[in-house]
Structure 1
């Protein structure tokens, strides 16, 4: 039976409510893939185990094994260049803790959770378990109306900054699990919390290099709440929409040239050729001028090098934090020489904000790449989508 969460189906309406709101973090597919459809291993005569391996189709940073009496969650890439695999046992209430060495043991289903990244909020809401969220660092960056209401009602505690979470508050809340975000294994705060007996589980959605890979981390959250079937259906829905949008422009021979990023101090940051954004631009059938670079993160360029290659680009996507043409020229008058500037073909997500100023793109785009792809197609191939309203990107003011 197909299940698609009302939260996912209502995303379009939720996003429309943000239109017009003025002001770190992210951006889901074929019908054939079903994450929960796996093959059970043939049981040997002397064994009664029902172990089965559940590997995502796109995400590279985690996989799940259904063991006899518990779920084994392995996070292989919590951050780029991670050398350790983190192993977590998710044990149903009433079941015996399994033998073995685990980085954390979590009793399921979880009833109280602390999240540490806004990118986790859409997954919790899509699975309809946002009511389990009891703590979050830097709650000001959360934009979701449903979760903001819980914050205002005092149901979600402010825990300070992610790298220095208020451990006393965490101990007082006593969550069943903390879903942690970190750039390396040197987070001393998490180590302190774990010593109190509160399990910390790393999430590495941000380290994924493809749009669908990031979105598939909804399946990471599913076993904490016994929501595997729901997560499968939600992801399949998003995946189907993404691939359908990609197919709309796949056969076009004319590929618009694209420039990205902008100067910050003395460096022009733009997406590497194997980055998340570069994949969006490839799937939108565009010619991203730095597509042949090998970086999975950001490129760091001089103004002159970007100018030489990108001055005649047809479009300029995501120009940093700039939201208006006059802001660009105030920062550097030479921006006006770019073709995309002259033709008013610059598009940004930085002026689509939540009620407290958080950028919706950073919170929602990783879980809804189908919407991101449609936004890009809408602007770069204007005739491909009829009666479409962009969700994240807007024309520069």
Structure 2
């Protein structure tokens, strides 16, 4: 019996990056050009197609090279199977910090600084990563040595709910798809409930994003999940004319020209005040939201350790990000809501 899971989300396109086919004897996963065969650990891999990478499940030992996978690891309760991460400073988890102190979890580095010898020493059955292998020579080296590398390209999706669907992919390697589907269904319902809050709003604020960096200004395209978040929260994305999901370098002059007509400015930056933005580039002060005190930073709300889990948990909690943005764009709709990430800069 065959079941093909394409992960369709109501109101969105198919999740673009992967497909799971469940057979009686094994599961086959396609992630772009990569093919994997997940077979029961106690049954053997004889039924797997020859052109697939074979993985016994449930996986017992794995490594992740991205802190954005943390929420999936926590939700599926996989902490005890995780043996390596890129850098611990990026993983805001008391459980993982404890395992690291006890030397049950190890750092392996990332990108060009990836410690190939350490990865091999840890004997992972799979390694989750997030960038094209050809962009990191050490990933290529691991792949050639037979380490099973699993790309998690959730960041390339168009819709925040499509990003969430990648939880099912991770779960498949641990035989925890049932748990994943329940989690996904719950969050999708919360997202839908949040989006319905602004169905009667009359005015949609014009939203500017990001900031100057070394004379450049990068913004995501209209088909990015950030643009979708802004739309679903009742805002008008100022760069909706730019196609695609990836980033566009629109240049500082163009950004400033558009920013003169923005109502709200969203940034993700290590700054604590508007003065910090001026110190980075004094021309930031020309933007209308700067002058009207409508600048909001997704790294603004910190915990008691002065850190934020935006990078680790925001993409895995699209409903909470949406509520934050609704609170920013239409405070009157949720006057008592306490934002988790976005904070106004003064």
Name 2:129's counterpart in structure 1: 180
Find the partner of 1:305 among 254, 266, 280: 254
Name 1:89's counterpart in structure 2: 37
C-alpha contact 1:122 1:364 (8 A) present in aligned 2: yes
Task: Output the CA distance in 2 between the equivalents of 1:190 and 1:319.
Answer: 28
Name 1:119's counterpart in structure 2: 68
Task: Output the CA distance in 2 between the equivalents of 1:277 and 1:209.
Answer: 8
Find the partner of 1:151 among 67, 76, 100: 100
The two structures have a TM-score, normalised by structure 1, of 0.80
Alignment of 1:93-108 (within 5 A): 93-97=41-45, 98-108=47-57
C-alpha contact 2:234 2:329 (8 A) present in aligned 1: no
C-alpha contact 1:258 1:313 (8 A) present in aligned 2: yes
C-alpha contact 1:289 1:309 (8 A) present in aligned 2: yes
Task: Output the CA distance in 2 between the equivalents of 1:358 and 1:65.
Answer: 40
Name 1:294's counterpart in structure 2: 243
User: Is residue 200 of structure 1 aligned with residue 152 of structure 2?
Assistant: no
User: Is residue 379 of structure 1 aligned with residue 328 of structure 2?
Assistant: yes
Task: Output the CA distance in 2 between the equivalents of 1:242 and 1:337.
Answer: 35
Find the partner of 1:136 among 85, 89, 101: 85
Q: CA deviation at 1:108?
A: 0.7
Name 1:75's counterpart in structure 2: 31
Structure 2 residue ranges without an equivalent (≥5): 10-14
User: Once superposed, what is the RMSD of the aligned Cα atoms?
Assistant: 2.0
SS in 1 for 2:331: coil
Name 2:12's counterpart in structure 1: none
Name 1:246's counterpart in structure 2: 195
C-alpha contact 2:39 2:48 (8 A) present in aligned 1: no
Task: Output the CA distance in 2 between the equivalents of 1:318 and 1:171.
Answer: 39
- 141-150 vs 367-376, greater mean Cα deviation: 141-150
Name 1:189's counterpart in structure 2: 138
SS in 1 for 2:272: coil
User: Is residue 64 of structure 1 aligned with residue 20 of structure 2?
Assistant: yes
Please give the per-residue CA displacement for 1:197-220, whole angstroms capped at 9, x wherever unaligned.
432222211221221111110000
Structure 1 residue ranges without an equivalent (≥5): 1-49, 77-84
C-alpha contact 1:143 1:356 (8 A) present in aligned 2: no
Count of matched residue positions in the alignment of Structure 1 and Structure 2 = 340
Task: Output the CA distance in 2 between the equivalents of 1:351 and 1:163.
Answer: 30
- 140-149 vs 216-225, greater mean Cα deviation: 140-149
Task: Output the CA distance in 2 between the equivalents of 1:309 and 1:168.
Answer: 49
C-alpha contact 2:111 2:139 (8 A) present in aligned 1: no
Of structures 1 and 2, the one with the larger relative CO (CA 8 A, separation 6+) is 1
Q: Do the aligned partners of residues 352 and 142 (structure 1) sit closer, same or farther apart at CA in structure 2, a change above 3 Å counting?
A: farther
C-alpha contact 2:65 2:110 (8 A) present in aligned 1: no
Task: Output the CA distance in 1 between the equivalents of 2:174 and 2:75.
Answer: 12
C-alpha contact 2:64 2:128 (8 A) present in aligned 1: yes
Q: CA deviation at 1:356?
A: 8.0
SS in 1 for 2:227: helix
Q: CA deviation at 1:184?
A: 4.5
SS in 2 for 1:262: coil
Task: Output the CA distance in 2 between the equivalents of 1:258 and 1:198.
Answer: 44
Q: CA deviation at 1:127?
A: 0.8
Q: Do the aligned partners of residues 353 and 71 (structure 1) sit closer, same or farther apart at CA in structure 2, a change above 3 Å counting?
A: farther
